A and B are shown apart, each in its own frame.
Chain A
Amino acid sequence: MLQQLANGVFAGAIYALFAIGFTLVFGVLRHLNLAHPAVFTAGAFVGIEIAARTAIPVWILLPVVALFGALAGVLVERVAFRPLRGRDDEHFAGLISSVALGGVIIALLQARYGTEPKSFAMDYFPQRLFEVAGIRVTLTQLVTLGLALVLMLGLAWLVSATSLGRSMRAVAENPTAAKVLGVNVGRVTAGTYALSSALGTVAGALLALNLGQAGRDLGASIELVGFAVIILGGLGSLWGAMAAGVVLGIAEALTIHLFDSTWKSMVAFALLFAVLVLRPRGLFGHVKVREV
């Protein structure tokens, strides 16, 4: 039981990392970036390749992956969203263009890495196992959880205390007013995507590190859970997404424990459906939906 709870927390940390990228872009720009799962997958593959080629340790690897992700994020915004700005069908078109770009990214991954899943070398990261009060935890899981916490706190700090964060909040509140007051909306937009995708790629690499391998469907497998997390947390709310990620992870783990793994995703969606119908602003969302 406790073991299941612990597993849920670890899974939830990954969900949350994946989802805060999603929710950040939505909160600031009102874009639902459906290329995010593909960028997440790319992070896993790129991480695996760099690890295999250079054997750099993980604390250098992850920043490199994040850098790659930031570039990818800027590219996603340039290609799939910026050309649509101001169009009547901006919102529908943005969904489709990001789906299309996601497809392109996955095709490129297939071109480079083939159809088989790729793995980290067995000895890339020490396979240590700890046992605390009867709960078994791997070193990878601990590092994942720790990193997820650090990244989320870092993002929260960035949004609340830096000038980029202040500009992001201004754009989220009112893009036109922000522009009039001298905020460089183009740069804030690019910055938001860069941050979002950097977090997404790191989440992808961490998930691959936990699983030991990554396939092309890595992102697709987490996409719907990601939706559930951002809604449960309150669309656009960073703290909400973090909390909801962990709640969902635990709920799934408990379902597996009590029922069967085939019912696992039922919990996420039933919860999601109920929350949307009863409390659309999310479990943790505040009255104002459009916060960062």
Chain B
Amino acid sequence: MLAGYETLITTIALGAILAYSFHVVLMAGQLSLGQAGFASLAAYTSTLVVPTEPIAGSISPVIVGLPVGALVGAAAAFVVGLPVLRLRGVFLAIATIAFGEMVRVLINNAEWTNGAIGVRVEKWVTFDFAWIIVAVLAYLFWRLGPSRSGRAFAAVREDELAAGSMGVDVVRTRMASFIASGAIAGVYGVLFAYFFGRITPATFDFSLTVNGLVTAVLGGYLVFFGPVLGAGFLTAVPEIQKALGLEAGWIHPLITGVLLLAVILFLPGGLSTLFSRLRRAPARPGPDYAPLDALDPLPDPGTRIAAVTGLAKSYGAVDAVRGVDLEIRSGEVLGIIGPNGAGKTTLVNMISGLEPPTAGEGEILGVPLGARPHRFAQAGVSRTFQHSKLFERLTVLDNVLVGTHVVSRSTYLRRLAWLPSARRDERRALALAWAQLERVGLADRAGLRPGALSYGDRRRLEIARALAAHPTLLILDEPAAGMNHVEAAELASLIRGLADDGVTVLFIEHNVKMVLEACTRLVVLDFGEVIAQGEPREVASDPRVIEAYLGTEAEAHEESEHV
């Protein structure tokens, strides 16, 4: 039945494998286009080092070639990744394209590769073999999606800063996706060589890169089977045209181009969008909330959890923060107020690792200032942002699940083997996430995307995500901004409730009434310096504070109350 279609069917498989090497970097938000180079290096190396005859009489050279190719591809990706992964977006894309072209020119000019003529090998790959590889890859990605690592990939793709603040090691995640991409591209190169029986430098040129990228995006990189859909579509369209008797040479590329354009314009998630409507809305996990008790206890009230001295940050000639000394003790609710531009956000950015300080020393939960954000998160610092940084293409529930990153263990490898412990860990993360959604009152919106939420709900979602990390120190940057006074009052009682649970809260806020209600200690910043701190009511009546900040604000507040 398959006779005559074997080449076609194998072409789809090869296209899908190539697309997976793009899929894995797109999943992590990296526009990396060096796959042609990795595939080329892998294919040439394996044809060189693997014997041409069956090994031990029966093992096909492909079986040996594949791991060699994967290894060469991964190693090359690692070596290239070290310098280029500092780049992002279009810059990363063009640097990796340049790498691919350099490989092509080198191979074209090298002796051992036989130059432009290329290398001939026996054809060992059959269509069933190629599809087994596709099945393996699809399985790997299927299991990756809803795992802790899969969520880390998605978080890095949607917002690197927020991902880092939730404890995801952004550098490592990007490198992991880059290496995986190199390995898969290597597998593709080897399969290509042993299927078509010939490789030349031109096999792995820029058009291969474009094909792979188009296939991956067309199929959809948010769903594990996207590459198979994309490859099927791109291979089938010309065949269907041929079957329909459309012969003119230009009609094929025209129709392919128009269809591709239509899919991209009208199906934002690629072809896989057609299938994702089938997904169920997330359901509340069963009553087994017991795992929540297994979380580490928070430090005793009054323990010193952070102490910094002489903290300063300058941007060129502008001193945003100057000589700030700050001590935070467990269980307190510390409010920071100050006029716009006083350095409040810069201060919390420094103590959560988002910006390195220019001067000053100290530790937050044992992590020295200047470390990368994920280290602070792992130590128990969790935060929200002044301008909410949500993972826009994840559901509300998945946003909060990313928050559990630092209190859960990696499940991917155990999920591959279907170990029950992985399932247990995932359910525990889910229970944690649900508990936070219920705490902030968003449980009924778990299946929506953040874009569908109101402004106040988005802020609540950010707080839920931060709480899912079971933080010792929770930092909220203007959590009540944009909330009406009912919502703000709810938020104030939520914050007091957190303090009762032993969470230390540091929050920046302009709503003075709310600050005075919620906090146990108040710090006032002006022009980057602490001008007053202590018991909230006392600080609020300090004449310097009134002059710098409260005076105008209080008047404004009275006026707004009269309206």
Residues on A lying within 8 angstroms of B by beta carbon are 26, 32, 79-80, 83-84, 87-89, 91-93, 95-97, 99-104, 106-108, 110-111, 115, 220, 223-224, 227-228, 231, 235, 260, 262-263, 265-266, 269-270, 272-273, 276-277, 280
Q: How far is the CA of A115 from the CA of B250 in the complex (A)?
A: 9
B264 x A97 contact (CB < 8 A)? yes
Q: How far is the CA of A182 from the CA of B82 in the complex (A)?
A: 45
- Residue B4 at the A interface, CB < 8 A? no
10 A–B contact pairs at CB < 8 A? A26-B90, A93-B264, A100-B260, A103-B253, A224-B101, A266-B106, A272-B94, A272-B98, A276-B91, A277-B83
Q: Shortest Cβ distance from B223 into chain A, in angstroms? A: 13
A96 x B213 contact (CB < 8 A)? yes
* Number of residues on chain B facing chain A (CB within 8 A): 46
Which 7 pairs across A and B sit closest by C-beta, in order of nearness? A103-B257, A107-B254, A104-B257, A110-B250, A100-B260, A107-B253, A111-B250
Q: How far is the CA of A131 from the CA of B29 in the complex (A)?
A: 54
Instruction: Write the B243-284 contact mask toward A (1 if CB under 8 angstroms, else 0).
Output: 000001111111011101100110011000000000000000
Of the candidates A84, A104, A260, A273, the one whose C-beta lies within 8 Å of that of B98 is A273
Which residue of B102, B251, B265, B269 has the most chain A CB atoms within 10 A of its CB atom? Answer: B265
A100 x B257 contact (CB < 8 A)? yes
Q: How far is the CA of A97 from the CA of B218 in the complex (A)?
A: 10
Contacts of A223 in B (CB 8 A): 206
- Residue B408 at the A interface, CB < 8 A? no
Q: Shortest Cβ distance from A54 into chain B, in angstroms? A: 25
- Residue B312 at the A interface, CB < 8 A? no
A276 x B84 contact (CB < 8 A)? yes
- Contact A269:B261 (CB < 8 A) given known A276-B84, A276-B94: no
A262 x B264 contact (CB < 8 A)? no
Contacts of A272 in B (CB 8 A): 94-95, 98
Q: How far is the CA of A219 from the CA of B442 in the complex (A)?
A: 53
B250 x A107 contact (CB < 8 A)? yes
Q: Shortest Cβ distance from A93 into chain B, in angstroms? A: 5
Q: Shortest Cβ distance from B6 into chain A, in angstroms? A: 27
Contacts of B18 in A (CB 8 A): none
- Contact A96:B248 (CB < 8 A) given known A262-B105, A280-B87: no
A228 x B98 contact (CB < 8 A)? yes
Q: Shortest Cβ distance from B28 into chain A, in angstroms? A: 13
Contacts of B249 in A (CB 8 A): 110, 115
Cross-chain pair count, CB within 8 angstroms: 126
Contacts of A280 in B (CB 8 A): 86-87, 91
New contact pairs (9) apart from A84-B264, A280-B87, CB-CB < 8 Å: A95-B213, A96-B214, A110-B250, A227-B97, A231-B91, A262-B109, A265-B105, A269-B101, A269-B105
Which residue of A80, A99, A100, A266 has the most chain B CB atoms within 10 A of its CB atom? Answer: A100
Which residue of A83, A103, A231, A263 has the most chain B CB atoms within 10 A of its CB atom? Answer: A103
Q: Shortest Cβ distance from B506 into chain A, in angstroms? A: 31
B261 x A224 contact (CB < 8 A)? no
- Residue B389 at the A interface, CB < 8 A? no
Q: Shortest Cβ distance from A82 into chain B, in angstroms? A: 10
Q: How far is the CA of A266 from the CA of B102 in the complex (A)?
A: 6
B250 x A93 contact (CB < 8 A)? no
Contacts of A95 in B (CB 8 A): 31, 213, 217
- Contact A104:B210 (CB < 8 A) given known A273-B99, A280-B91: no
Q: How far is the CA of A223 from the CA of B210 in the complex (A)?
A: 12
- Residue B523 at the A interface, CB < 8 A? no
- Residue B393 at the A interface, CB < 8 A? yes
Contacts of B91 in A (CB 8 A): 231, 235, 276, 280
Q: Shortest Cβ distance from A278 into chain B, in angstroms? A: 9
Q: How far is the CA of A104 from the CA of B258 in the complex (A)?
A: 7
A107 x B89 contact (CB < 8 A)? no
Contacts of A220 in B (CB 8 A): 206-207
A99 x B253 contact (CB < 8 A)? no
Q: How far is the CA of A220 from the CA of B210 in the complex (A)?
A: 12
B102 x A88 contact (CB < 8 A)? no
B98 x A93 contact (CB < 8 A)? no
Q: How far is the CA of A276 from the CA of B92 in the complex (A)?
A: 8
Instruction: Write the B172-215 contact mask toward A (1 if CB under 8 angstroms, else 0).
Output: 00000000000000000000000000000000001100100110
Q: How far is the CA of A111 from the CA of B253 in the complex (A)?
A: 10
Instruction: Write the B87-128 contact mask toward A (1 if CB under 8 angstroms, else 0).
Output: 101110111011101100110110000000000000000000
Q: How far is the CA of A231 from the CA of B106 in the complex (A)?
A: 22
Contacts of B253 in A (CB 8 A): 103-104, 106-107, 110
Q: Shortest Cβ distance from A66 into chain B, in angstroms? A: 25
Of the candidates B98, B108, B109, B261, the one whose C-beta lies within 8 Å of that of A276 is B98
A103 x B98 contact (CB < 8 A)? no
* Nearest A residue (CB) for B393: A88
A263 x B105 contact (CB < 8 A)? yes
Contacts of B89 in A (CB 8 A): 91
Contacts of A101 in B (CB 8 A): 257, 261
